Amino acid sequence: MSSYLQRHAFLRLLCPLMIGIVCGDAYPYVLSLTYYGVLALLGVSALFVCYGYRHPRLFSLVLWLLLGSFGYFHASECWKETELSVADEAGIYKVRLLDVPEAKERSFSCRATLLESYRGDSVESNRGDGFLLLYFPKDTLSASLRRGDELLIHTRLAPPRNNGNPDEFDYERFLRRRGGAGTAYVPSNSWQRSGHHEHHSLRQDALDCRERVITLYRNLGFTGDELAVLQALTLGDKNDLSEEIVETYSVSGASHVLALSGLHVGFLYALLWFLVAPLWRWKGWLKLPLLLAIVLMMWGFAFLTGLSPSVVRSVLMVLIVAIGTLQYEKALTMNVMAAAAFLMLIINPLWLFDVGFQLSFSAVAAILLIQPALSSLWKPKNRLAGYVWDLMTVSVAAQIGTSPWVIFYFSRFSTHFLLTNLWVIPMVSLVLYASVLLLMLTPFPTLQYAFAPVVRWLIDAQNEGLRLIESFPYSSIDNIRLDRWEVLGLFLLLAAAGYCWRRFSFSRLVLLLCLTGALTCYRMVLTYRNAPTQSVVFYNLRRSPAVHCIAPDGSSWLVGTDTLPDLKPFRRSLTPYWNRLQLTTPLPVAEGYSHEQLSVEHRMLSFAGKRICLLYDDYWRHKQAKEPLSIDYLYVSRGYKGGIEELTTLFAIGTVVLDSSLSAFYRERIREDCTRLEIPCYDLSECGSRQFSL
């Protein structure tokens, strides 16, 4: 292993940098500029001393510490930039919109930068670099907003925050790693325009260019799934993809082609290389001008896609490969890949946690390390068979390298990935090349309109082929769960398997078997610890009040308050948690349901000997009882307008649970009642979900 690292210098540099970034992201701590300067000076001085006294091991150790420290403090600084100092109550702020508002299910969302904060008679200018994510009501006034508008808003800014549900998507880290400093909802009567800023950044100009291309697609007659897939494949805009087409690509194992990244950039690079190859071989002095032309066209493509991070990363990597073609040895190696990753992480260390970054580099590393061994198993004599075999081995290698990440993030494994790649990769290449030709025909509108049906037919054929693969039996294995330690264990296991494959020995086999045994034992312990127990769970899902009743055999019920609960928001947030507990999909039930283990009658839920009162209207007001009925949990959700004290003549209350659908006024009122009556109270909007074992 040490000799391998010796041959790949950038791998040696990349490892400590990544370790430092991981630590800086987990435990950010920011030093002053003076401390940074002193530490950097000491580190560089130590490097020169070690080099002068010819201590290579000590030199390597100091270099590792220096790079690790750089990664740590660089990641910490990125976190510092997203800190937002605002008051707890609503205030007046001046913001500038960075994007055109994007239509969501119930609102418009838009990124904005904070310019000024107004507190009393004082005005504070913002010095942070993080953006705000603002939500506006879905009305005609909000739809008129444009990028560059400067607004005065009255709202409560809050830092990104998770709901506190078990195993939910870590929205707080996701947004802050992308520069998000805060979020806010701005009602219709709480904002007004104060001006407009005409200056556009390079990225804003790129987004304008992308919008013009999308308008061109619409004018050429592309609509529905055809337009959405074309936008995703050529421009990286996935906003218009329907849930059906996303599910088709996901089940068939073709989701990677919808994420504009290395595959698409590679196809474009291959096309450009094919066009310049004759001149490249003809005159040696033309190599540098041709390489410069390729670089400019690649960055032009990145500009056309809005300078999205995934495309910028892919273009950087391809350009490093292109520079490598000036040498005689193999252009793409592990060292080149590590150099690309090293450069990207120096620019933005938090890219390390981006799903696209992890998938793309895992796929490239697996292709470089595994594909040659797979390809050597068979040497077809037929040229077409050789092409198919190479495509299959590349697909298998990439699948091996990315499967742990795919299962970790998406809880799904597509079993027909080989068939999918044999179909979708040639089709995507045809669609991309046809789209390039379509855009090149813009000066000739008649020819462009005549050629548009060809692109439309190619997209339809691609989609129909994937729908056919989706319909095959056992097209995907769903609800698989891996935690981060299992992902790390799988990659170590793959490394040990490759280590044993390269040169078999008994000690290497023992290492492989030990890792396999350790991973198996860890999975068995997790399965035992996560076995479902009889319990009730109250989730923090605004607008979706419900009680989740779990039986020891894995069956469960989702009990709604006034109506049957909609499973869609619960699936979106809680599928990883249900997978971890090995639960079947909960059965949605409501008032009037009766089962041997559970019943819901007269707003009263009975389960496992416990009684839960569902309080969501005025059903219990003005009622009387001879003696209070003992209830274990009082679940209060939207619709109830009273307090708690008036219910004490009806119920002997064990614990009050406040749903996040309640308004802040009623939550505060009920909390005060509970404090005065000495009744335990749990506020889901403040503390997150709560599970009670029965």
Residue 86 is assigned to a structural domain of this protein? no
278 & 374 share domain = yes
State pLDDT tens for residues 558-613: 998 878 888 888 888 888 898 888 888 899 988 888 888 888 888 889 998 889 99
The whole-number pLDDT of residue 457 equals 93
Whether 326 and 287 have beta carbons less than 8 Å apart is answered as yes
The whole-number pLDDT of residue 521 equals 93
59 & 141 share domain = no
Task: Look at residues 586, 576, 583 and name the one whose alpha carbon lies nearest to residue 544.
Answer: 586
The whole-number pLDDT of residue 548 equals 93
DSSP 284: G
419 & 561 share domain = no
If you average pLDDT over residues 369-386, what whole number do you get? 84
If you average pLDDT over residues 200-216, what whole number do you get? 77
Where among 199, 234, 249 does a domain terminate? 199
DSSP 557: E
DSSP per-residue letters across 406-474: HHHHH-EEETTHHHHHHHHHHHHHHHHHHHHHHHHTTT-HHHHHHHHHHHHHHHHHHHHHHHHHHHSTT
Residue 283 is assigned to a structural domain of this protein? yes
371 & 467 share domain = yes
DSSP 108: E
Strand intervals (E) in 66-213: 91-97, 102-103, 107-119, 122-125, 131-137, 149-155, 180-185, 191-196
Sign of CA dihedral 564, 565, 567, 568: positive
- The percentage of residues in the chain with a pLDDT greater than 90, rounded to a whole number, is 8
Which range of residues forms the domain containing residue 556? 535-693
Q: Is residue 50 scored above 80 in pLDDT?
A: no
DSSP 255: G
CATH number at residue 118: 2.40.50.140
Q: 100: how many CB neighbours lie within 10 A of its CB? A: 15
Residue 23 is assigned to a structural domain of this protein? yes
Taking the C-alpha atoms of residue 429 and residue 435, their distance in angstroms, rounded to an integer, is 10
Q: Which helix (H) or strand (E) holds 326?
A: none
Residue 429 is assigned to a structural domain of this protein? yes
175 & 221 share domain = no
State pLDDT tens for residues 437-493: 888 888 888 898 999 999 999 999 999 998 999 888 888 888 888 888 999 999 999
**In a 3-state reduction of DSSP, which class is residue 237?**
coil
Alpha helices in 635-682, H assignment, sequence order: 664-677
473 & 497 share domain = no
Whether 108 and 142 have beta carbons less than 8 Å apart is answered as yes
Residue 7 is assigned to a structural domain of this protein? yes
As beta bridge partners, residue 107 has 137
Q: What angle do CA 290, 293, 295 make, to 5 degrees?
A: 110
Where among 529, 563, 597 does a domain terminate? 529
At 539, is the pLDDT very low, low, confident or very high (cuts 50, 70, 90)? very high
Taking the C-alpha atoms of residue 648 and residue 268, their distance in angstroms, rounded to an integer, is 71
Q: Is residue 538 scored above 90 in pLDDT?
A: yes
Residue 85 is assigned to a structural domain of this protein? no
Task: Look at residues 448, 399, 447 and name the one whose alpha carbon lies nearest to residue 422.
Answer: 399
DSSP per-residue letters across 27-92: S--PPPHHHHHHHHHHHHHHHHHHHHTT-HHHHHHHHHHHHHHHHHHHHHHHHHTT-----SS-EE
Residue 194 is assigned to a structural domain of this protein? yes
333 & 455 share domain = yes
State pLDDT tens for residues 35-44: 777 777 777 7
Taking the C-alpha atoms of residue 332 and residue 311, their distance in angstroms, rounded to an integer, is 18
**In a 3-state reduction of DSSP, which class is residue 612?**
strand
If you average pLDDT over residues 399-422, what whole number do you get? 85
The whole-number pLDDT of residue 1 equals 47
Whether 673 and 643 have beta carbons less than 8 Å apart is answered as yes
Q: What angle do CA 338, 313, 576 make, to 5 degrees?
A: 90
Whether 347 and 23 have beta carbons less than 8 Å apart is answered as no
Taking the C-alpha atoms of residue 509 and residue 494, their distance in angstroms, rounded to an integer, is 13
At 263, is the pLDDT very low, low, confident or very high (cuts 50, 70, 90)? low
Residues 6+ apart with CB under 8 A from 253: 414, 416, 417, 420, 421, 476
Q: 444: how many CB neighbours lie within 10 A of its CB? A: 11
Q: What angle do CA 356, 360, 362 make, to 5 degrees?
A: 120
**Counted domains in the chain:** 5
Where among 166, 199, 232 does a domain terminate? 199
Residue 251 is assigned to a structural domain of this protein? yes
State pLDDT tens for residues 600-613: 888 889 998 889 99
Residues 6+ apart with CB under 8 A from 269: 294, 298, 318, 321, 322
13 & 137 share domain = no
Whether 634 and 658 have beta carbons less than 8 Å apart is answered as no
pTM: 0.82
Task: Look at residues 32, 31, 28 and name the one whose alpha carbon lies nearest to residue 76.
Answer: 28
Mean pLDDT, the chain, rounded, equals 83
573 & 524 share domain = no
Q: Is residue 184 scored above 80 in pLDDT?
A: yes
Taking the C-alpha atoms of residue 447 and residue 233, their distance in angstroms, rounded to an integer, is 22
Give me the amino acid identity at 555.
S
If you average pLDDT over residues 345-363, what whole number do you get? 85
463 & 498 share domain = no
Task: Look at residues 531, 536, 658 and name the one whose alpha carbon lies nearest to residue 606.
Answer: 536
Tally DSSP H helices, then E strands, for the chain. 22, 21
If you average pLDDT over residues 657-683, what whole number do you get? 88
Give me the amino acid identity at 618.
D
Residues 6+ apart with CB under 8 A from 297: 268, 272
327 & 403 share domain = yes
Output the six-digit token pair for 648: 């004490």
The whole-number pLDDT of residue 557 equals 92
230 & 156 share domain = no
